[in-house]
Structure 1
Amino acid sequence: MPSTAPVARPSFWRRISLVQWMLIAVVIGIPLGFIAPEFSASLKIVSDVFLRLIRAIIAPVLFGVLVRAIGGGGSVRDLGRLGWEALVCFEVFTTLALLGGWGIALLLRPGVGVEIPGASEAVVAQTVAFDQVILNAVPTSLIDAMARGDVLQMVVFCTIFGVACMLAGEKARPVLDFAGSLADVAFKFTHVIMYLAPPAVLAAMASTVAAGGLDVLVGLLKLFVAAWASQLGFMVLVLGGALVAFRVPLRRFIHFMREPFLVAFATTSSAAALPHTLEDIERFGVPRRVIGMVAPLSISLNLNGSTLHIALATVFVAQAAGISLSLEQQLLMLATLKITTKGVAGIPRANFVVLAALFQNFGLPLEGLAVLLGIDALIDPIRTSVNVVGHGVAPAVVARWEGATFPTDVPTDDAPRSAP
């Protein structure tokens, strides 16, 4: 006889997600900064502890992610024509995303007027000769670079090491397994310390508002508007433009991608939308052989929404800190971001580890991360959705590049599945 005992429901506190806790922290932190500015300023130590823990995991994340992503891509010979076409497609999309986010931030200047506590303590990078920049990017020891927190040297070493693993083939399998395990453990570490994010966000928002007043709220609102406008603009102009340029049926594509987009928007998780994405791009008409090669690579190497946001957030913090970046510094930052954004798909808040690595290397204040984390919950839905749309556009473009044709009709009896 089946049991009639009522199923225990989770407590109220367990039903609140981490994102909701961070939004609650923002709602509490903003008025607290106005009401009790002196007390709010003393809370800065809470966000400082959180940021130190983020810094502690940078080196393991970079080594694990970059070596796994680059070395695990298969041999150069096995990559084949499809793989190379996919890589060209990804690099074009992510480069345009990076430049788009950077350009929107320079145009709208959302960080101007925002005062970040502790920003004056940041060490601004010195302008040095180009040959010295190149020399300083080459490590003499990985351990030394990790100990000093020199992110650029770590990126250079891990990139070359990953290429060497790819060339070594099966002999490098134990190394790649280790890198994969290290990355997984590092992200679990990140997951654990993210439980400190709500008090860190509360402390950061309170101390920032106490220092900057209404200008902070105006700056965060401008960042929100800039983020949504740039993400939507990229999706329509770049991704939509690529579909039109390759003569992919636009209305049919929108019909089949609408559900993965909505799942990603509702869950803020590319992983949750992945089954729908793979199924629906096949129903749209992309051949399985293209999906099998392009889709796995796209998930790691084609993070358009995340790449755009990281560029935008970097310039926002530089503007808020009053740091003027030279052209050489901007180009070096863009090149560093181009590499460090690879392979972090599906990892909640992994963008903040990437930003922490960049900020530490280029003298931007880490305190800006906690401020970004406060508004991130409002930006994450559209950022994740653009990532997912990019995962659908890339296989369709590569399929057309290969000469595939798609039906042009739009099904009328295709009721959307319910989101999980």
Structure 2
Amino acid sequence: MKKVWYKRLHWQIIIGLVLGLIWGLVASVGGFSDFTVDYIQPFGTIFINLLKLIAVPLILASLIVGVTSLNDIAKLSRMGGKTIGIYIVTTMLAITIGLTVVNVIQPGNFLPVETQEQLMSGYQENIEGADQSAQEVLDRSPMSFLVDIVPENFFQAASDNGNMLQVVFVALLMGIGLMQIPSEKSKSLINFFDSLNEVIIKIVDLIMKVAPYGVFALMAGVIVDLAGDDIGQALDLLGALFWYTFVVILGLFLHLMIVYSGLFKLFSKMKLRDFFKAIRPAMLLGFSTSSSAATLPVTMERVEKNVGVDEEVSSFVLPIGATINMDGTSLYQAVAAVFIAQALGMDLGIAQQITIVLTATLASIGAAGVPGAGIIMLVIVLQAIQVPVEGIALILGVDRILDMCRTAVNITGDAAVAVAVAHTEGLLGEMHFDDE
């Protein structure tokens, strides 16, 4: 029996998004933005915190259970190689698509000089500190990424959602250790983590019941932060950067339709439409929260229950993806870098654009887990092609909206790679749509 349309989770989240948008606009026009920030936006923050709260225990429990049920270290290493390989390829394709679209449309040429000067003066102070943070990332040794995966203290690593890879490493280590001891000694501990995993999944279900209200609060806060008490100023900003915003969104859409469709044709028989239908609550939450880590519990639940990916794969592929796979963010880096160069009257040659591909791919891994990683990654890319870092001020005004879009694509990419890896390992089951 099908649910009434408004009782389906994805429709409830969409309704929350729309009502949050309307409330934010009314609050800006009516002059009660402070009320929204003080009494409505906090509920959105609580919702995100609830999702982040269960991310680490979910990864730890599900991955330990998955590894021990796999009972094959060779298979685990093979799956890891596939995961990293596909992530790198899809990231490079995303950057290439972004460069293609931005070079064809050339949005930087539509930005008037007076608008450019106004944006530079208005947002200049917002990039202070990003240059220094980017330099710290560049100063790290080539092997520091691997060093950072191994924590000195597990409890310290588990206390920060930015250390997902460290939690994954500990879970893998513990899972492998449990495989090496007699089953009569490991059984009780495995059962504990199995029970913990089931409890966390139930908690995810409970949290999702308040998702529409959390999304409403988040969206209202986003609009108020963007517009303040002057909605006209926000509209003027969007108008000035319309072509830039359009190119980023177009590039993200093309990546969704071309790359992931091709991925499924190569590695599974799944239809892209069915895939989107199965994970749409996760995509909508990613859009609302602008956080892959916060959405991770929901992404894992939808990929396992609805898409049919075995827990052995999802618990390994998705946490890694939430940390290092940034298809949407990398595409945005490419478009933003070329847009800034165009607006400043600089022509980028083929060599510089190839540099963007390589730098953005490496930066997506090197800057993982760093606060404000998107802007820091962009600083690294601009420095590599010798474009003034101050040009970032041109795009900061609409960055919050585009951050929502690219996070949704990042999450979709994680789930798509999980499908591909699961199919190649024979661990992809039947799809199930529980919203029907």
Q: 2:367–2:373: 8 Å Cα contact kept in structure 1?
A: yes
Matched with 1:236 is 257
* Counterpart residue type for residue 91 of structure 2: T
Cα distance between partner residues in 1 of 2:396 and 2:334: 15
Q: 2:107–2:243: 8 Å Cα contact kept in structure 1?
A: yes
**Seq. identity, %:** 26
CA separation of 1:405 and 1:11: change in aligned 2, threshold 3 A = closer
CA separation of 1:152 and 1:361: change in aligned 2, threshold 3 A = farther
Cα distance between partner residues in 2 of 1:241 and 1:262: 23
Cα distance between partner residues in 1 of 2:402 and 2:380: 21
Q: 1:248–1:397: 8 Å Cα contact kept in structure 2?
A: no
Aligned equivalent of 2:38, options 14, 20, 34:
14
Cα distance between partner residues in 2 of 1:367 and 1:257: 38
Aligned equivalent of 2:296, options 274, 286, 294:
274
Q: 2:308–2:430: 8 Å Cα contact kept in structure 1?
A: yes
Give yes or no for the alignment of 1:261 onto 2:286: no
Matched with 1:342 is 365
Q: CA deviation at 1:267?
A: 2.7
Matched with 1:189 is none
Aligned equivalent of 1:367, options 390, 395, 405:
390
Cα distance between partner residues in 2 of 1:377 and 1:151: 20
Compute the TM-score of the two structures, normalised by the length of structure 1. Answer: 0.59
Q: Deviations over 1:99-130 (max 9, x none)?
A: 1111111111011142333999xxxxxxxxxx
Give yes or no for the alignment of 1:92 onto 2:114: no
Q: 2:325–2:364: 8 Å Cα contact kept in structure 1?
A: no
Cα distance between partner residues in 2 of 1:331 and 1:388: 26
* Counterpart residue type for residue 94 of structure 1: T
* Counterpart residue type for residue 14 of structure 1: D
Q: CA deviation at 1:403?
A: 2.6
CA separation of 1:382 and 1:163: change in aligned 2, threshold 3 A = closer
CA separation of 1:253 and 1:329: change in aligned 2, threshold 3 A = closer
1:169-184 matches, within 5 Å, as 173=152
Cα distance between partner residues in 2 of 1:12 and 1:260: 25
Aligned equivalent of 1:103, options 76, 100, 104:
100
1:317-332 matches, within 5 Å, as 317-332=340-355
Which blocks of at least 5 consecutive residues in structure 1 are unaligned? 1-9, 19-75, 121-147, 185-197, 207-213
1:165-314 matches, within 5 Å, as 173=152, 220-250=241-271, 251-283=273-305, 284-314=307-337
1:403-418 matches, within 5 Å, as 403-407=426-430, 410-411=432-433, 414-415=434-435
CA separation of 1:405 and 1:113: change in aligned 2, threshold 3 A = closer
* Counterpart residue type for residue 158 of structure 1: S
Q: 1:248–1:396: 8 Å Cα contact kept in structure 2?
A: no
Q: 2:92–2:357: 8 Å Cα contact kept in structure 1?
A: no
Cα distance between partner residues in 1 of 2:286 and 2:348: 35
Further displaced range: 324-333 or 226-235: 324-333
Q: CA deviation at 1:291?
A: 1.6
Q: CA deviation at 1:247?
A: 2.3
Q: 2:145–2:366: 8 Å Cα contact kept in structure 1?
A: no
CA separation of 1:361 and 1:86: change in aligned 2, threshold 3 A = closer
Q: 1:299–1:345: 8 Å Cα contact kept in structure 2?
A: no
* Counterpart residue type for residue 332 of structure 1: T
CA separation of 1:157 and 1:118: change in aligned 2, threshold 3 A = farther
CA separation of 1:77 and 1:318: change in aligned 2, threshold 3 A = farther
CA separation of 1:163 and 1:279: change in aligned 2, threshold 3 A = closer
Look up the SS of the partner of 1:264 in the other structure: helix
CA separation of 1:103 and 1:289: change in aligned 2, threshold 3 A = same
Matched with 2:55 is none
CA RMSD of the aligned region, Å? Answer: 4.3
Q: Deviations over 1:314-339 (max 9, x none)?
A: 11101111112232222223222211
CA separation of 1:119 and 1:288: change in aligned 2, threshold 3 A = closer
Compute the TM-score of the two structures, normalised by the length of structure 2. Answer: 0.57
Q: CA deviation at 1:218?
A: 6.1
Q: 2:313–2:427: 8 Å Cα contact kept in structure 1?
A: no
Cα distance between partner residues in 2 of 1:405 and 1:97: 25
Cα distance between partner residues in 1 of 2:351 and 2:410: 29
Matched with 2:117 is 117
Matched with 2:180 is none
Q: 1:360–1:366: 8 Å Cα contact kept in structure 2?
A: yes
CA separation of 1:329 and 1:118: change in aligned 2, threshold 3 A = farther
The count of corresponding residues between Structure 1 and Structure 2 is 298
Q: 2:138–2:380: 8 Å Cα contact kept in structure 1?
A: no
* Counterpart residue type for residue 38 of structure 2: R
Cα distance between partner residues in 2 of 1:119 and 1:332: 27
Give yes or no for the alignment of 1:381 onto 2:377: no
* Counterpart residue type for residue 273 of structure 1: T
* Counterpart residue type for residue 155 of structure 1: L
